[in-house]
Amino acid sequence: MGKRKKASSGGTGKKKKERKQRPPRKVWTYYKIEGDRIIRLKKECPNCGAGFFMAQHKDRTTCGHCHYTEFLEVTA
């Protein structure tokens, strides 16, 4: 048989963990507000539809959801 637990002596209890400060969400950089209109700054995916923005790379734009890729024309 195991040992019995000691009765607590009324200690301070558990300490709350400090939460790490999170940076603000980047989604607010995808839109621009002019007056009462909202303008989307990034291109949207033609397969997924509205709400899925395409990432801009040096030579292409890609969708992170369905992996649709459009290559940009390189002018030499």
Question: What does the domain layout of the chain look like in residue ranges?
Answer: 43-76
How far is it, in rounded angstroms, from Cα 67 to Cα 32?
26
CA 41/CA 30 separation, integer angstroms: 5
Give residue 10's pLDDT band: very low, low, confident or very high (50, 70, 90): low
Model pTM greater than 0.75? no
Residue 48 C-beta-side C-alpha neighbours within 13 Å? 16
pLDDT at 11 over 70: no
Q: What's the CA dihedral at 56, 60, 65, 67 to 10 degrees? A: -170
Residue 76 has pLDDT above 70, yes or no: no
pLDDT digits (tens, 9 = 90+) for 27-69: 888 889 999 999 999 999 999 998 899 999 999 999 999 999 9
Separation between Cα atoms, residue 17 and residue 38, nearest integer Å: 39
pLDDT for the residue numbered 24: 83
